Amino acid sequence: MEWLEARGDQWKAQVQVVVIDMCSPYRSAVQQALPEARLVADRFHLVRLANEMVTDVRQRVFREQRHRRGRAVDPAWANRRLLLRAGDQLSDRALSRLTATFAADDPTGEIGAAWGVKERLRMLLATSDRHSNAEALRFHQTVLAAELPEATRLAHTLDAWWPQILGFLLTRHTNAGTEAHQPHDQRRRTDRLRVPQPRPPTPPSTVPLHSAITSRRQCPRVHSPSTLKSRQSPVADRAGPARP
């Protein structure tokens, strides 16, 4: 907050878009310091929340069904990263592995349902702003069909951040590229809000804002919630049909 105030009114007036992590204190600070800027929820963190939801469901199912953690001999654990990959980008071989994983380690269908919710969120994030209401409805229908507390929490999180998600659907701005190279950028970049500036930088039109300076205690993780055409989930009947 102090860093933003130190930039001066002229610099702040030229900021048009701020891409932020899904952290409420950051949202409040930016709204106060940059009231004219459009806030955008970072797609990178939205997808990460959905992936965390899938992981939480997988771990819970194992605890309830086998009274232990997953092991390397368990297909769901061995293919845990496969569960987090984009469904429409899976090869036939990978899709077969996914189907076999659900058959072997998902007796209640909950892991498959969580995977379907994750894929439906990806479809929502791939849509345009003018189609967002229809896709949001399909997402919530999939969440209701899944009947998972983790998916319900994810949906509540998305509802709370819907104006900022709409900002992403409209602008398509994201910090995904910088997140992927974060350690490298932390050493070299000097125009990030987390780094104190020796002098005011050139006024940007988009300001990436990350929650790295906010501890996890201040902003705890919330377990949840080119057009994509995700392949139909093996548990499509439970997770909701994929859009044709």
Predicted pLDDT of residue 2: 79
Predicted pLDDT of residue 119: 97
| Average pLDDT value for residue range 59-63 | 95
- In angstroms, rounded to a whole number, what is the distance separating the alpha carbons of residues 44 and 13? 27
Least confident of 77-86, 103-112, 171-180: 171-180
Residue 128's pLDDT band (boundaries 50, 70, 90)?
A: confident
Res 203 pLDDT > 90: no
Express as a percent the part of the chain with pLDDT over 90: 60
Predicted pLDDT of residue 179: 63
CA neighbor of 75 nearest in space, from 93, 59, 57, 97: 97
**Count: domains in the chain:** 1
| Average pLDDT value for residue range 157-162 | 96
Instruction: Give me the domain span that covers residue 110.
Output: 1-244
| Average pLDDT value for residue range 196-223 | 44
- 8 A C-beta contact, residue 158 and residue 3: no
